[in-house]
Structure 1
Amino acid sequence: MLSSRLQRLRSLRSDTSGLALMEFAFTFPIIMAMGGYGTELSFLALSNLRVSQYALNLADNASRVGVQANAGVTQLRESDLNDVLQGTRRESDLIKLTTNGRVILSSLENVSQPYDTDRVQRIHWQRCLGMKGASGADAADYNSHYDPSPTVHPSPAAGSDATAANKGVDAPAGMGEPTQKVNAYQNSGVMFVEVNYQYRPLFGSLFVNPQVIRYTASFIVRDNRDFSRIYNPTPTATASTCDRYTKGVGGATT
């Protein structure tokens, strides 16, 4: 009996039939963690790429829209701005940008208006789209970071007519990060776009914390634009002013 039991113990010591299963059980958590981390980083990188492209496309589109008026001058209309913002909204439906973020389009101009004595660089007007930033909790993250100061923004009426009352705000240093300021050429303008997006990780906060993805883009206005105002002929369009926090253009909620 004893020898039989010893024989069984010896055979068990040399038995390797479950080795692969044991190795898999030990390595599975490590493989899953590495796979999840890689997937999360890939998704974050892809989200950054998408947001940067949305900003570039909007700046590019806004730099070339308008309708030809007299003498080859292009007039920019509220309907044109709504069109390009709507294009950004549709383009970004996959990540629900206008629900989980905010888009700010600014016209940085270096021109002399009838009420100026010389050229002045100013943010003449801004148009916005997106639901984020309405509350005090996230206002600092999603509203424009590149106005002249945290408390100075162009009013919703800025640029709506050609009067000094709605001239916007002076921005002599330009717009952008302190070491990467964008300035408009003399007698021209720049479409400056800022996109702020709430990134929601695939696996909660396990690998990457929720964060705001922020990108900017700028394009020089491509045509001989009339910088005096944004036109709004009949039938008038509802302006997507920055006092509105909606996911649709012109204040639309859908």
Structure 2
Amino acid sequence: IASQLDALKAAGTTRVLILPAYPQYSATTTASLFDAVYHWAGKVRNIPELRFINHYHDDPRYIAALAGRVKRHWQDHGRPDVLLMSFHGVPERTLHLGDPYHCECFKTARLLAEQLGLSKAQYKVSFQSRLGRAKWLEPYTEPTLIEMGKAGVQRVDVVCPAFTSDCLETLEEINMEARETFLHAGGKEFHYIPCLNDDPTWITALCDITQQHLQGWPTQAVPDAAALAASRAAALALGAKQ
């Protein structure tokens, strides 16, 4: 992050919009990104104007892109007995400290279920990637899959709405380890629905969200080379060093 901000500043950038890849806000993810930006800014003499997008977990364009991804999978492969929405896990204490992540995950799940026309019995929410001995947000993904497999659920589809791009946590932990867990528990069919990645509907939505947060900044008008050269010459004449 610091090196990219250095490069932008060196190129003359005066305004920067920070857009997290995390739809739901968490101190462990979104805020850690902001911390990195603030750390960089604390060492810079002339800071560009900064804006931050905190979240877009309930943005209709994000929800519509998610729903479209799921619907296309179902068109090609049929529908499951249960759709499991598995979110990245965080320690439970973050919820008690005021972190909105838990609530935002459940809101995303509810809105997605509404877009898909699912009843409460047709989808579940869980949290993956628990580490250490501390209690994390529940229900946990792996025990949930084991419970469903033992209960006779034949097919489960899993989608990971906390990730906009596939990574080890989706491709290995879910599509490999979670798959094996469910099938070993008695399930018959496991489908992982890929993240949004470069889906055109999502890229358009991301562009729209970005443009919305850029409002008020002159993003189109660019001074010509002659005007920039004249401005620089005037600054140097007044004592500027570069």
Q: Do both share a fold (TM > 0.5)?
A: no
Higher helix fraction (1 or 2): 2
| TM-score, normalization by structure 1 | 0.26
Higher strand fraction (1 or 2): 1
Ranked by relative contact order (alpha carbons within 8 Å, sequence separation 6 or more), the top structure is 1
Bigger-Rg structure (1/2):
1
| TM-score, normalization by structure 2 | 0.27
